[in-house]
């Protein structure tokens, strides 16, 4: 069964809209786990636009299943990760002006910085996943650098405007997964997945973990977090 990591960043986005105390992502994490989440994913951004240092530390104490921390290669954030010790660290690209993470980490262009961050995380005993595009060269280098997993980004699949484009992206995701598995990497996926488009992704042989945020948090606003997570688990299970 594929693991579902629920990304609760946008619970904190709503809190920060008022710079208030609620809604608290720690409460959301508890409800997500009660709804069947296999793990909780959070992104501590350098600009702290949603999740902050206090959230990361409290969530580390609260989430006893799997805490996946997304982070950039910035020294300051890597230091926090090494101290907090999430169960898994996912390195992602980060640009100040973007609304959300745009595209995968260019491991080839930023090899030295990625290797340096990975070395520090490994020394702290933290397994590293690299968020990359469905690109064989990026996946191959991820393995060479010592990643235990790749999170293959599904944005182009999620945003495809025609059925032909959707199938093309799906094929690319399939091919990338098979290649990553042949190298011995674990395969995760995420970005833009929702209740309607998740089934095809969940059917790709070898995918072990999906990280889904915006669609679950959006539904949770209307039907509650537990139910929103349960319904996503059903959508994933229906694919098998
Ligand atoms: N995986 C990664 C690496 C991400 O950066 C994000 C967005 O924060 C997600 C998954 C979740 O994407 P979405 O919110 O579109 O479900």
Q: Find the mean pLDDT for residues 209-216.
A: 98
41 C-alpha to ligand 1 centroid (Å): 9
Q: Ligand 1: does its nearest atom lie under 6 Å from the Cβ of 211?
A: yes
Number of domains in the chain: 1
CB atoms within 10 A of CB 79: 12
Residue bearing the CA closest to ligand 1, atom 1 = 190
Q: Is residue 101 scored above 90 in pLDDT?
A: no
Q: Ligand 1: does its nearest atom lie under 6 Å from the Cβ of 218?
A: no
At 58 the pLDDT is: 98
**What is the pLDDT of the chain when averaged over all its residues?**
96
Q: Does the N-terminal peptide bond of residue 156 adopt cis geometry, omega within 30 degrees of 0?
A: no
Residue bearing the CA closest to ligand 1, atom 15 = 192
Q: Is residue 100 scored above 90 in pLDDT?
A: no
At 185 the pLDDT is: 98
Q: Find the mean pLDDT for residues 56-83.
A: 97
Q: Find the mean pLDDT for residues 41-52.
A: 97
Domain extent for 72: 3-237
Residue bearing the CA closest to ligand 1, atom 6 = 191
214 C-alpha to ligand 1 centroid (Å): 8
213, 215, 219: which to mutate for ligand 1, most atoms within 8 A of CB? 213
**pLDDT confidence tier of residue 239, bands split at 50, 70 and 90:** confident
Nearest atom of ligand 1 to the alpha carbon of 70: 3
Distance CA 224, CA 229 (A): 9
192: left (phi over 0), alpha (psi -120 to 50) or beta: left
Among the listed residues 31, 79, 28, the one whose alpha carbon sits nearest the alpha carbon of residue 50: 28
- Euclidean distance between the first and final Cα of the chain, in Å? 9
**pLDDT confidence tier of residue 102, bands split at 50, 70 and 90:** confident
At 240 the pLDDT is: 73
- 88 forms bridges with which residues in the sheet? 68, 127
pLDDT in tens, 77-97: 999 999 999 999 999 999 767
- CATH number of the CATH domain containing 160: 3.20.20.70
Q: Which residues of 47-69 are buried (b: 16+ CB within 10 A; e: fewer)?
A: eeebbeeebbeebbebbeebbbb
Q: Ligand 1: does its nearest atom lie under 6 Å from the Cβ of 131?
A: yes
Yes or no: say if 158 and 197 are a contact pair by the CB < 8 Å rule: yes
At 111 the pLDDT is: 97
Q: Is residue 99 scored above 80 in pLDDT?
A: no
**pLDDT confidence tier of residue 238, bands split at 50, 70 and 90:** confident
Q: Any idea what DSSP says for residue 109?
A: T
Q: Which of 96-100, 168-172, 186-190 is predicted with the least confidence, judged by mean pLDDT?
A: 96-100
Q: Find the mean pLDDT for residues 96-121.
A: 89
Q: Is residue 161 scored above 80 in pLDDT?
A: yes
Any alpha helices (H) in 35-154, and if so which ranges? 53-62, 75-84, 111-123, 136-144
Catalytic residues: 43, 70, 191
Nearest atom of ligand 1 to the alpha carbon of 158: 15
């Amino acid at each position: 069964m594929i693991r579902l990591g629920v990304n609760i960043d946008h619970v904190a986005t709503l809190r920060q809209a008022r710079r208030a105390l609620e809604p608290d992502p720690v409460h959301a994490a508890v409800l997500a786990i009660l709804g069947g989440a296999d793990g909780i994913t959070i992104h501590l951004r350098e600009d702290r636009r949603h999740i902050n240092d206090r959230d990361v530390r409290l969530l580390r104490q609260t989430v006893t299943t799997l805490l996946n921390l997304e982070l950039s290669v910035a020294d300051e954030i890597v230091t926090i990760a090494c101290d907090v010790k999430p169960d898994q660290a996912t390195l992602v690209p980060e640009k100040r002006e973007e609304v959300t993470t745009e595209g995968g980490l260019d491991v080839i262009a930023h090899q030295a910085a990625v290797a340096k961050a990975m070395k520090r995380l490994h020394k702290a005993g933290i397994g590293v996943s690299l968020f990359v595009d469905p690109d064989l060269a990026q996946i191959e280098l991820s393995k060479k650098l010592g990643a235990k997993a790749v999170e293959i980004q599904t944005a182009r699949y999620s945003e495809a405007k025609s059925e032909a484009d959707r199938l093309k992206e799906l094929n690319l995701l399939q091919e990338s997964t098979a290649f990553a598995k042949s190298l011995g990497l674990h395969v995760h996926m995420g970005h833009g997945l929702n209740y309607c488009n998740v089934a095809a992704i969940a059917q790709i042989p070898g995918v072990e973990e999906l990280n889904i945020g915006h669609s679950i948090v959006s539904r949770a606003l209307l039907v509650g977090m537990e139910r929103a997570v349960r319904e996503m688990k059903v959508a994933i299970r229906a694919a098998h």
